[in-house]
Amino acid sequence: MKLMITLLFAVLMLSSCVKDRIDRRKIVLINESKNDIYWMKSENGKFKKQLYDPVIVEPNTSGSIGNIVPPWDVTIEYSKDKKLSIYIVIKDSVDKYGWDNIYKKNIFSKKYLIDMQCLEDNKWTIVYP
């Protein structure tokens, strides 16, 4: 019983630590194009399959990436050249070639390189195209 209480206490302490480190700020991408698009981030500057699904954004709408650990400023600080890469892929290209070929052949529509100053200056919003 004592062991169970100790374990429960440890789990609660660890979960509160992670909760406090979640960055609630979000990068918002506004799609002003006529195409459905996917967008994804890369800390190492490489266009490759991510651990999460890319965010899809329909024309004249927006999508966001946020609630990350570590916080954005730490993520960007340790990114290649201290810039986060944001890749845009047109959905029609994915439908035509599939994700494996998209990554293998570097088929993306646009790449943004952003740092913290850029995010703050643009109020955490990127407008495509």
Q: Whole-angstrom Cα distance, residue 75 to residue 69?
A: 8
**pTM score of the predicted model:** 0.81
CB neighbours of residue 89 within 10 Å: 22
Domains, in order of start, for the chain: 23-128 (2.60.40)
**pLDDT, tens digit, 9 for 90 and up, residues 35-62:** 999 999 998 999 998 877 899 999 999 9
pLDDT digits (tens, 9 = 90+) for 54-107: 999 999 999 999 988 899 999 999 999 999 999 999 999 999 999 999 999 999
Classify the phi-psi angles of 126: left when phi > 0, otherwise alpha if psi is within -120 to 50, otherwise beta.
beta
Q: Which long-range contacts (CB under 8 A, 24 or more apart) does 73-77 make?
A: 73/23, 73/116, 75/43, 76/43, 76/114, 76/115, 76/116
When computed from its CA atoms, the radius of gyration of the chain, rounded to whole angstroms, is 18
